[in-house]
């Protein structure tokens, strides 16, 4: 794979079963190389594979979020067809013939579509703009005024004057959407009661909701009468709600604790009238809400189906709602489940491996070949799992990808790649970055050090602190784990050249890259991307970094010295490794001042450093940024490492 191959990437997403369980609606996405834009369409497939998949929609831009009506005759979806503006609209399409009917004319994209049980209405979420947005000339626009800390969000933009709220629209197009919630709050995850009279959703609506990191489940009348009623106890975070179709219970994704991160998300049950959350998945000791979010759990009769992060994989489980038995593993293997649905015990899912793009499956049967032409035309390299020993003897899950065109007896330059988070995991799924580096002649080592998800909660919490005795903090045992991964790879794989090592990572991975080169000269070149380098300034410039007090063990001004001590910028003058600093100018998670701070420090110290700034892009550049910029990013990275590791 070479950088330009970004334009050939494709895959399957968001499979949804027809109510009879026999047909599947799903999304196929690709990149239009001529327009250099993302595109998607909705397709249909027979669950038993008896007929070839067929394309259902022909939108010019993006069609997504297919949702079957309860009787299975119609499909609701979101499309940007015929729209000069970027926002999509809700359409309903008769599946067996007819034109799609447009239901909305919104200023912002609708999300999280859910049909009412009787099929007459569709609930959804959408952002509501302040009237000041109607003024297109920014020189005349009124200033923004905020009273909440949650006023911006990376990849979304300003949120304090365009909150997300709950809407309902008639499915036959007979009326305008009705807004059910309002106020200076953020709402999400709508779910209908079995009789259609109420909607559950997730929000935080207490007086100080923006400073507590708490969210709860709420219920509101679906006809717009009355105020939302909170049904959970503000003792943690409710992230998704799904009302049982057969009982007065609601399944929730729940994370316990307030300013006590990270903790495993669990599947729980709460009475629709309110009460204590009964957790069902604590026996797994695994995170039951993979990042990035894939979909809400799904009811299957009297049990709940959900996804779990497991040692680099994402697997599917089910658990009985009454909680009498351990969760049951439904789908295993070295793979990452990227979507699923279930009807009456019949499952479908989309999944990827290290050498296959996301495809559609029914059980073990593969129903699509969307990514097959891409894979067949290139030498994609399978990742090999191995275990490394850290300094204290801890065993660390690691992988290595050989260079494409590998020849035995040859030593290759090797890159250590570090994931973000830190409470995320590198997975066994397809990752364009590793294939591009392998295609350029590099071996790639990656690992899930302490602090990662996908393992025990103790593993994820091992780098908390250092304030208040919570733990050692970032840059301690995680650093030792990563260095152990490199040293073990050198010992075990004779093709790894110990004299030509590079290190790179983004976000927390960028933090660890900056930290590593400030503490060792083991690497010959490095790239710190979208990193947090100065925890002190990140506290006030990031959309959420102040909340990392729940990980560090204190707010900044309660233990200023600890925040300074854990900052890579504190050790920047020790850096001797040539460093590429890469950042996006619209990054709200790790502000570009984080890159500027490091670049200025190193340049004044006379170090070898280069600074690359991408216009327009957010923290998500490498994953969902402009395809053109994604290609340019790869080209810059390869040129940098080629210069230093391939003299």
- Three-state SS string across 388-410, please? EECCCCCEEEEEEECCCCCCCCC
Angstrom distance (rounded) from CA 200 to CA 190: 6
Give the residue carrying structure tokens 């960028």. 510
Residue 529 per-residue DSSP state: E
- Helix, coil or strand: residue 636: helix
* 132, 151, 156, 211 from 148: Cα distances, Å: 18, 6, 16, 8
- Gyration radius of the chain over CA positions: 25
Query: Across-strand partners of 360?
Result: 350
Closest CA to 489 of 503, 475, 476: 503
Angstrom distance (rounded) from CA 524 to CA 502: 6
Q: At what angle are helices 627-645 and 432-439 packed, to 10 degrees?
A: 40
pLDDT digits (tens, 9 = 90+) for 363-413: 999 999 999 999 999 999 999 999 999 999 999 999 999 999 999 999 999
pLDDT over threshold 90, residue 324 = no
Give the residue carrying structure tokens 């015990």. 345
Token couple for 500: 């030509």
Angstrom distance (rounded) from CA 403 to CA 1: 11
pLDDT over threshold 80, residue 85 = no
Q: What is the DSSP string of 572-597?
A: GGG--S-EEEEEETT-SSS-THHHHH
Question: With contact defined as beta carbons under 8 Å apart, do 420 and 509 qualify?
Answer: yes
Which secondary structure element, helix H or strand E, spans residue 201, and what is its range? strand 198-203
Query: Across-strand partners of 153?
Result: 157
Confidence of residue 86 (pLDDT cuts 50, 70, 90): low
pLDDT digits (tens, 9 = 90+) for 34-50: 999 999 999 999 999 99
Per-position b or e across 53-62, b if 16+ CB within 10 A of its CB: beebbebebb
Angstrom distance (rounded) from CA 60 to CA 39: 8
- Helix, coil or strand: residue 263: coil
Confidence of residue 87 (pLDDT cuts 50, 70, 90): confident
Per-chain mean pLDDT for the chain: 97
pLDDT digits (tens, 9 = 90+) for 554-570: 999 999 999 999 999 99
pLDDT digits (tens, 9 = 90+) for 566-625: 999 999 999 999 999 999 999 999 999 999 999 999 999 999 999 999 999 999 999 999
Angstrom distance (rounded) from CA 253 to CA 189: 11
Closest CA to 404 of 431, 429, 426, 436: 436
What are the backbone dihedrals phi and psi of residue 104, each rounded to the nearest 5 degrees, phi first?
A: -135, 160
Residues with catalytic roles: 507, 619
Closest CA to 209 of 148, 255, 119: 148
pLDDT over threshold 80, residue 98 = yes
Closest CA to 43 of 9, 8, 77: 77
What per-residue confidence (pLDDT) applies to 376?
97
Angstrom distance (rounded) from CA 274 to CA 286: 26
Angstrom distance (rounded) from CA 271 to CA 247: 9
Angstrom distance (rounded) from CA 462 to CA 449: 10
Angstrom distance (rounded) from CA 12 to CA 29: 7
Domain annotation for the chain: domains and CATH numbers: 1-128+163-181+345-378 (2.140.10.30), 384-645 (3.40.50.1820)
In terms of C-beta density within 10 A (0-12 exposed, 13-18 middle, 19 or more buried), how is residue 408 classed?
A: exposed
- Helix, coil or strand: residue 556: helix
Give the residue carrying structure tokens 């450093």. 609
Confidence of residue 77 (pLDDT cuts 50, 70, 90): very high
pLDDT over threshold 90, residue 13 = yes
In terms of C-beta density within 10 A (0-12 exposed, 13-18 middle, 19 or more buried), how is residue 418 classed?
A: buried
Which secondary structure element, helix H or strand E, spans residue 412, and what is its range? strand 412-418
Angstrom distance (rounded) from CA 417 to CA 447: 8
pLDDT over threshold 80, residue 83 = no
Residue 97's contacts (CB-CB under 8 Å, 6 or more residues apart) are none
Angstrom distance (rounded) from CA 158 to CA 294: 24
pLDDT digits (tens, 9 = 90+) for 120-160: 999 999 999 999 999 999 999 999 999 999 999 999 999 99
Closest CA to 67 of 279, 263, 264, 298: 298
Angstrom distance (rounded) from CA 171 to CA 77: 11
Angstrom distance (rounded) from CA 638 to CA 122: 48
């Amino acid at each position: 794979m070479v950088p330009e191959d970004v334009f050939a990437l494709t895959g399957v997403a968001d499979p949804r079963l027809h109510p009879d369980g026999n047909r599947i609606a799903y999304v196929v996405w690709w990149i239009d190389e001529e327009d250099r834009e993302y595109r998607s369409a909705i397709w249909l497939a027979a669950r038993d594979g008896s007929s070839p998949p067929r394309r259902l929609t022909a939108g010019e831009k993006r069609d997504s979020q297919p949702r079957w009506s309860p009787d299975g005759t119609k499909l609701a979806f979101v499309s940007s067809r015929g729209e000069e503006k970027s926002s999509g609209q809700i359409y309903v399409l008769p599946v067996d013939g007819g034109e799609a009917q447009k239901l909305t004319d919104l200023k912002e994209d609708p999300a999280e579509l859910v049909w009412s049980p009787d099929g007459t209405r569709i609930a959804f979420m959408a952002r509501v703009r302040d009237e000041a947005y109607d003024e297109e000339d920014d020189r005349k626009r009124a200033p923004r005024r905020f009273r909440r800390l949650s006023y911006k969000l990376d990849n979304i933009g300003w949120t304090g004057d365009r909150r997300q709220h709950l809407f309902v629209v008639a499915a036959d197009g007979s009326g305008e959407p009705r807004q059910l919630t309002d106020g200076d709050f953020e709402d999400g995850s709508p779910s209908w009661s079995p009789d259609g009279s109420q909607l559950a959703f997730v929000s935080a609506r207490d007086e100080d909701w923006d400073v507590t990191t708490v969210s709860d489940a709420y219920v509101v009348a679906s006809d717009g009468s009355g105020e939302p009623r909170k049904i959970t106890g503000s003792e943690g975070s409710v992230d998704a709600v799904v009302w049982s179709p057969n009982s007065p219970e609601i399944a929730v994704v729940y994370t316990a604790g307030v300013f006590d991160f990270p903790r495993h998300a669990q599947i729980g049950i709460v009475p629709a009238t309110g009460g204590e959350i009964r957790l069902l998945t604590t026996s797994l000791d695994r995170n039951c809400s993979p990042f990035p979010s894939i979909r809400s759990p799904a009811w299957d009769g009297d049990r709940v189906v959900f996804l779990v992060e497991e040692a680099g994989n994402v697997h599917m489980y089910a658990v009985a709602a009454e909680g009498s038995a351990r969760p049951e593993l439904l789908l295993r293997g070295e793979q990452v489940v990227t979507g699923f649905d279930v009807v009456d015990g019949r499952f479908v899912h989309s999944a990827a491996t290290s050498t296959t793009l996301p495809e559609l499956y029914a059980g073990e049967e593969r129903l699509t070949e969307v990514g097959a032409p891409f894979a067949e035309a290139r030498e994609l390299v399978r990742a090999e799992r191995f275990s490394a020993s850290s300094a204290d003897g801890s065993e660390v899950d690691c992988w290595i990808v050989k260079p494409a065109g590998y020849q035995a007896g040859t030593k290759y330059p090797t890159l250590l790649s570090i994931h973000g988070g830190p409470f995320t995991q590198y997975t066994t799924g397809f990752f364009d970055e590793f294939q591009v580096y392998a295609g350029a002649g590099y071996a790639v080592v990656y690992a899930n050090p302490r602090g990662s998800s996908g393992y025990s909660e103790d593993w994820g919490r091992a780098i908390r602190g250092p304030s208040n005795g919570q733990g050692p903090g970032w840059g301690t045992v995680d650093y030792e784990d990563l260095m152990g991964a490199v040293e073990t790879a050198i010992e075990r794989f004779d093709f790894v050249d110990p004299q030509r090592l590079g290190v790179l990572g983004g976000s927390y991975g960028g933090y660890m890259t900056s930290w590593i080169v400030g503490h060792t000269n083991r690497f010959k070149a490095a790239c710190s991307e979208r990193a947090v380098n100065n925890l002190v300034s990140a506290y006030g410039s990031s959309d959420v970094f102040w909340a990392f007090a729940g990980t560090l063990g204190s707010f900044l001004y309660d233990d200023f010295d600890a925040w300074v001590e854990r900052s890579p910028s504190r050790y920047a003058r020790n850096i001797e490794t040539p460093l590429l600093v890469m950042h996006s100018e619209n990054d709200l998670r790790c502000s570009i001042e984080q890159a500027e701070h490091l670049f200025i420090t190193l340049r004044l110290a006379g170090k070898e450093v280069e600074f690359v700034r991408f216009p327009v892009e957010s923290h998500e550049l490498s994953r969902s940024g402009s395809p053109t910029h994604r290609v340019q990013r790869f080209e810059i990275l390869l040129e940098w490492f080629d210069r230093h590791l391939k003299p």
